[in-house]
Amino acid sequence: MMDPERLSNLAKSLLEPDVVERMLGRYALVRKLGEGGAGVVWKAWDTKLERWVAVKEPRLDHGNARERFLREARAAARLKHPGLIQIYEADEHDGQAFIVMDFVEGRRLDETTLNPRDGAALMARVCDAVECVHAQGIVHRDIKPQNILVDAGQAPRLGDFGLAKTLEAGPLTVEGGFLGTPQYVAPEQAAGRLAEIGPRTDVYALGATLYHVLCGRPPFDGEDAPAILGKKLRGEGPRPVSQVHGPLPPALVQIVGRAMEARPEDRYPSAASLGEDLRRFLRGEEPGRRPLSLRWAKRLAPGLAVALLAAAALGTFWVRGSRDAAYETARQKGDELWIRSLGFLRGADRDGLRRVLGETMRAFERATSEAPSRPYPWLMRGRCRMLLGEKVEAERAWTRALALDPACGAALLERAKLHLAAYARLRLPSESADDAALRKKGQDDLAAARAARDLDATALKLLEGLAHLGSRDFAKAAAALRAYTDENSWDASALAMLGAAEYYGGRFDAAESTWTRVIALEPLAERYAARGHARFRLGRHEQALEDYDRAVRLAPDVADAWCDRGAALQAASQLDRAIADYSEAIARRPDLARAFVLRGTARAEKGDVEQADQDFLEAQRIAPFDVDAYVNRGVAFLRWKRTAEAVEEFDAALEIDPGHVEALSRRGVCRLLTLDCEGAMRDFEKALAIAPENPDLHFHRAQARYAKGETAKAAEELKTSLGKAPAGWARRARAEELLREWEEKK
């Protein structure tokens, strides 16, 4: 029994009058949501985080099963996608293994009635979620309507990763053993052929689930498990979907058939390609071309089967010959290796990643040699090159794919991402470059992508967000990138760009949260450094220092990592250690202007005017168009009360980059100090047009308003700055003090 006082406290926390059945660690199990042969799922209250969760207790009959369950569930816990039920943790308590999941209010898909179009649209979204699972090197192995919840907004959420399998992990299941639900599992899973289980195994289950959605019952309905498994082992399929449902659009029948082919190589190569065909159906287009299986041709409506087979005889549908078979073999091998390579992204095994990507490229090169006119192998070769950091070669590959098919949406998306991301990086504050050519390329690709036949609105949001980031409209960039990442939470690069938009837009708390998500996907040095920047601007210098420490450990030869850590040490008034880090950066890269700029700021803070100015001048010599070299020299002059010289430096910075927020802000402060209130207001307003969420800018503009005699407006502006400021804002106490003073004078 629970301690009565603890139970009483717990009851006060609960949001409805459920009875606590028992405790499982810190989780109060209050009501069974479902129970079956595999285990029981509870609605539970997390007493530590004070939230509702779902807790699954599997029935595991031996330690090997428990080890498998925990290993695979923990792997699944890293998945994040709006179409997945989030797993929070997998653990044991008193010998009972369990997983803790997001609690979703909704109905199971098998309890939901949908018309064929709505069913196809919903399953396309499920395919997106499954593609995210596969991209992390995980196979679900138990996709079925009972494991898909449809929430109040009619959005599907796939859950129950109790049987999930990581592709890299060694097998714990005995070869020949069976796991899964007979009606929905693929033949290779039914036979226990573990070596054959991969993404196409889940594609079969998606097809079987679509069958259930269309027909209102599962494939092989009314038969016992041994009979179903026997049919699958013999390669037999269920009753044709059109016979069970009645007349259906031929394209939809064809999609179900291809997804449920007995042989993995005859199915869709990925969940994404199945989702693409479902969306083609919804747009009134024909599914993507493929060899037509005679077995599935017979399962279509008789008249349609005759028409399709006749068309095949006339060459409308390509017939698989020896060359086509060789292409399919090479392409399938490439797809499998690509999925495997994605599993290396989360780890530190860069050599392993390069090795697998090399094998992947060789497979797609073989596919190209077998079918030179197909754009898909060139698309994938470009993706491999991009992961290897070979951007020029990646661009060439995508350009070749587009030469073969100018409307190939996937290639357009990849090339546009490359061009627009590079353009955006060059246009971020503190960087400058002749970006006209990149901007033109990116804009041309974006225009072409808008006209592409198979790019949806979400993909276009990514491109539009990058374009806005390049034009430094950070609010629009963040909105567009957020719309994309909400549906593609696995895309670390897009999330990083969202973090940049939030950071440069002055939303440092949002940027910190976004980069935390990026780190969960890619724990790389530059990701830790980016989060450190946000924490630094939030005044969380100790946390920033931890991030910079991690970046230095992960990339000790990267001079910028030493600069970042030095900046955090400087903020903590550890000037000698900061100068040592900056000097370490200079030793690694004597041409790094940033290191000289930062060492100059630290020396200026110590009062070493001569050496500080030498560092600033050296930075300007190395990089005459580096805005920071001028801004920070101006800040040093401001510190030394040499206001006129400070303004000259800020003017020089703004000649290079007219939209540099820091230069505008600092020049505004200088003008305010010299009682040029109108000039100060102009600078602050220009800066706020770029970074409207920046509390410092509102604070400075409030001071300018007060100096002009606009006390009431100044007080309102201070309230705005306080409302936008994070908890650790350095100027909070001063702003609150001024607000009290000014409100008394209103």
The two three-digit tokens of residue 535, written as one number? 């924490």
Angle at which helices 199-215 and 116-135 cross, to 10°: 160
Do residues 206 and 123 touch, judged by C-beta distance below 8 A? yes
**Half-sphere exposure (Cβ direction) of 454: Cα atoms closer than 13 Å:** 22
User: Which of the residues are catalytic?
Assistant: 142
**Is the distance from CB of 574 to CB of 605 less than 8 angstroms?**
no
The CA–CA distances, whole Å, from 622 to 566, 584, 627 equal: 20, 18, 12
Alpha helices, DSSP H, located in 572-623: 575-588, 593-606, 609-622
pTM above 0.85, yes or no: no
* C-alpha R_g of the chain: 30
Q: What is the pLDDT of residue 665?
A: 92
pLDDT < 50 stretches in the chain? 1-18, 62, 166-178, 290-321, 346, 430-434
pLDDT of residue 19: 57
Cβ(649)–Cβ(669) below 8 Å: no
- Confidence at residue 442, expressed as pLDDT on a 0 to 100 scale: 63
How far is Cα 581 from Cα 563, in angstroms, rounded to an integer?
6
Q: Which residue from 678, 691, 684 is spatially nearest to 724, judged by alpha carbons?
A: 691
Lookup: tokens for 345: 């992204």
